[in-house]
């Protein structure tokens, strides 16, 4: 009898799951849009507390809603591009400036807007932000919270977020460009896990499928490398979490490692990195279209260490930037914005509050 009771309970639970799954994608998207967009398409936060604050200090960007005119500075942003290192994203800023024909006023140069934060680097090239996000889930999470709030304060309409990075391939040769279809954690769950007030919360790690298809369509036969789509696994670690044998600690054999990597390949995982779950989860929760484009530095089925020469790796890291630039140019052309533009200087509303923001950012280690 107890077993029959368990069967009935399982059946009820299964029905509830099916009913939840029965909600159409259109209904789900409409629900998210209502929570994350105002009628004019500008970003709406899922946090009513922000509206009640006299000033919202974005500590790790060295910006503030009271010290800076964020709408004047960032209101025209359409694309937010992120990558691990300051050098890579400064390089991308110069690259995209040439690609979209953006013109700086005579005698000026690109400036790191977040230089006083000493954490992230941010460059603005017309409608494009180029920002370094550091390494790993926590660093990306902090940045995304403040970037999403920046989009809100600047009244940005329908931005597109894209991560440009590097990764290890699974059965994929070095130099291959990978567009992430779905993001999975180390337990192969399609979600991001976070402890909030002592309780575990899971948020779906969902990326925009149309954006994936559009990016894939922009790869050409003339590209001297492959561009593929597939599942990406995110880990919290570069060594043990990725099954490497060359860390300071290793309590598994090469046989164990290869069995695990083969399991990942059988599941459809084509690459491993350390940011995709939180990037996908937070952008989805914010109702922001997002994509991840990475280049593989090696095939993990063949080894653990990156052996490619520096000049080869530098060229490989350009490949995701090229694909993302094609999408940006396509969208700007469709909007009639692909033309030479003049940049506007940063706007300081309150010098006193600007100084306060600098001090607050320096104090938050």
35 is in an annotated binding site: no
Beta-carbon count within 10 A of 28 CB: 12
Whether the CA torsion 162, 164, 165, 171 is positive or negative: it is positive
For β-strands 199-204 and 227-234, DSSP reports them as unpaired
100 is in an annotated binding site: no
CA–CA gap between residue 179 and residue 293 (Å, rounded): 5
The two tokens of residue 183 are 């993001």
303 is in an annotated binding site: no
166 is in an annotated binding site: yes
Burial 216-234 (b: 16+ CB within 10 A, else e): eebbeeeeebebbbbbbbb
Burial 165-186 (b: 16+ CB within 10 A, else e): bbbbbbbbebbbbbbbbbbbbb
CA–CA gap between residue 298 and residue 301 (Å, rounded): 9
Cβ neighbours for 197, distance < 8 A, ≥ 6 positions apart: none
Cα-based distances in Å from 258 to 49, 166, 249, 250, 281: 49, 21, 17, 14, 29
Beta-carbon count within 10 A of 341 CB: 17
Cα-based distances in Å from 34 to 30, 49, 114, 261, 305: 6, 18, 31, 41, 46
| Total residues belonging to the chain | 365
Answer yes or no: are the C-beta atoms of 96 and 125 closer than 8 Å.
Answer: yes
210 is in an annotated binding site: no
176 is in an annotated binding site: no
163 is in an annotated binding site: yes
CA–CA gap between residue 193 and residue 199 (Å, rounded): 10
Whether the CA torsion 301, 206, 210, 135 is positive or negative: it is negative
Specify binding-site residues.
119, 163-166, 242, 244
Specify binding-site residues for phosphate.
119, 163-166
């Amino acid at each position: 009898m107890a077993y029959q009771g368990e069967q009935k309970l399982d059946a009820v639970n299964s029905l509830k799951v099916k009913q939840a799954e029965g909600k159409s994608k259109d209904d789900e998207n409409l629900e998210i849009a209502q929570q994350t967009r105002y009628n004019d398409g500008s970003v709406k936060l899922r946090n009513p507390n922000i509206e009640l604050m006299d000033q919202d200090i974005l500590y790790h960007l060295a910006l503030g809603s009271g010290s800076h005119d964020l709408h004047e500075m960032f209101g025209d942003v359409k694309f937010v591009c992120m990558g691990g290192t300051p050098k890579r994203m400064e390089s991308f800023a110069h690259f995209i400036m040439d690609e979209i024909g953006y013109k700086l006023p005579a005698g000026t140069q690109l400036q790191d807007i977040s230089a006083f934060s000493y954490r992230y680097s941010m460059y603005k090239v017309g409608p494009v932000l180029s920002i370094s996000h550091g390494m790993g889930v926590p660093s990306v999470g902090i940045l995304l919270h403040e970037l999403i709030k920046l989009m809100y304060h600047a009244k940005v309409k329908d931005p597109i977020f894209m991560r440009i990075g590097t990764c290890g391939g699974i059965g994929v040769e070095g130099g291959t460009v990978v567009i992430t279809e779905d993001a999975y954690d180390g337990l192969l769950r399609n979600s991001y896990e976070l402890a909030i007030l002592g309780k575990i919360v899971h948020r779906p790690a969902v990326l925009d499928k149309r954006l994936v298809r559009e990016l894939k369509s922009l790869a050409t036969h003339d590209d001297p490398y492959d561009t593929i789509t597939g599942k990406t696994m995110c880990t919290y670690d570069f060594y043990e979490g990725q099954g490497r044998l060359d860390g300071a600690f290793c309590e598994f054999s090469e046989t164990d490692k290869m069995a695990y990597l083969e399991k990942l390949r059988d599941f459809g995982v084509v690459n491993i990195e350390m940011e995709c779950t939180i990037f996908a989860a937070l952008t989805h929760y914010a109702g922001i279209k997002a994509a991840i484009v990475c280049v593989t530095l090696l095939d993990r089925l063949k080894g653990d260490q990156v052996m490619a020469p520096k000049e080869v790796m530098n060229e490989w890291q350009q490949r995701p930037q090229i694909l993302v630039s094609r999408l940006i140019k396509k969208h700007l052309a469709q909007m009639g914005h692909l033309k030479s533009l003049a940049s506007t200087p940063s706007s300081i509303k309150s010098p006193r509050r600007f100084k306060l923001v600098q001090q607050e950012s320096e104090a938050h280690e």
